[in-house]
Amino acid sequence: MPLTRSPLAAPGRAVLLNVLILAAWCLPLQTHAQDPAPMPTVKLSPAARITPLDEEALSDNTLKLLRAMVGQLVFLSEEQVQGAARIVAGPPGRVLFGAGDRIYAADADFAEHTPPLREQRLRIFREAGPLKDPQTGAVLGQETLFLGNAVWVSGAGLMPDTDGADKAQLRVPASLDIVSSQREIMVGDRVLVAQTEPPDTIRPHWPSQPVSARVVRLYGMGQQEATQHQIITINKGRLDGIETGHLLNIMLRQAKIRDKKNPPGESLQLPPQRNGTALVFSTFERFAYALITESQEGVREGDVLTGP
């Protein structure tokens, strides 16, 4: 530690020390009689480095992101909706139910087949109307509102009517416990075995045949635009050749402009330009879910996707 002999230095006083540290590497070494030749100048320019997505499988982080979202996806096929159970009752004297409540569901095959359901998560949803193709008006599936998750407690069955004279058999609904809820749950809401998680590995690849699809919905209520790592629904599915892992170009619609000459006031449509890439991770017969893996601008409903 540096020492000082200043008469002003005494115990209790604050002393400011300026210490000059010289490091050997800071000093130039003169090893030649003449100055060394100057180092060549290398001019660096910023550039984008592109790694094709189809070279390798998705990262673990991307798969975890998909698994976290897939249980709350809000579009179902007509077959899925028809196969869902219907909530018929909850705690006595209540019309709204939530996490921690026991509810009862009927009218579904899953209620009869109890053993496979012991470890499965059940999804509670409310029908919100048909999902329609913006070009043809055809119904692609059913839009639903995700309400929460439940677990199976006991299956449906039959019980003798002890109050009746004819001892008829009465149906007993399945018993479920709500483990999480995002909104109030009511009688009439539906219950379905949660969708299967994405496969352990998704290998991105471009379609072998030309594809032209449109964005029909953005994942998330009230959103006007979607960006990277958000989910979109497209109006093409397995019947159109769409496969899990397909990569699609997201095209940006450009505005119309008016040409001031030749002839004055003529409208011109600027051509679409590439805006990003979407990865299909779940397919149905007539629609599919895709994850936006990159985008320069926000993605809107009606935007076109092309491939390859």
Report the C-alpha gap between 216 and 60 in whole angstroms: 28
Least reliable range by pLDDT among 19-28, 159-168, 222-231: 19-28
Most confident of 31-45, 113-127, 244-258: 244-258
47-104: per-residue pLDDT in tens?
555 455 444 556 667 777 776 666 666 677 777 787 889 999 999 999 999 999 999 9
Give residue 188's pLDDT.
92
Q: Look up residue 83 and give its DSSP letter.
A: T
179 has a pLDDT exceeding 50: yes
Average pLDDT over residues 35-48: 62
pTM above 0.85, yes or no: no
The answer to whether the beta carbons of residues 150 and 143 sit under 8 Å apart is no
Residue type, 82: Q
% of the chain at pLDDT higher than 90: 25
Most confident of 41-50, 73-82, 105-114: 73-82
Give residue 170's pLDDT.
83
183-230: per-residue pLDDT in tens?
899 999 999 886 655 566 778 899 999 999 999 988 765 678 888 888
pLDDT tier at 15 (50, 70, 90 boundaries)?
low
20 has a pLDDT exceeding 50: no
Average per-residue pLDDT for the chain: 77
Report the C-alpha gap between 159 and 167 in whole angstroms: 10
Report the C-alpha gap between 307 and 290 in whole angstroms: 13
Give residue 59's pLDDT.
67
Average pLDDT over residues 115-125: 70
Most confident of 7-11, 95-99, 152-156: 95-99
Q: Look up residue 115 and give its DSSP letter.
A: G
Q: How far is CA 263 from CA 94, 151, 268, 269, in A?
A: 70, 68, 11, 15
**Domains of the chain with CATH codes:** 75-193 (no CATH), 199-307 (2.40.10.410)
Give residue 249's pLDDT.
95
Least reliable range by pLDDT among 65-79, 82-96, 111-125, 127-141: 111-125
Buried b (16+ CB within 10 A) or exposed e, 125-157: bbeeeebeeeeeeeebbbbbebbbbbebeebbe
pLDDT tier at 110 (50, 70, 90 boundaries)?
low
Give residue 11's pLDDT.
60
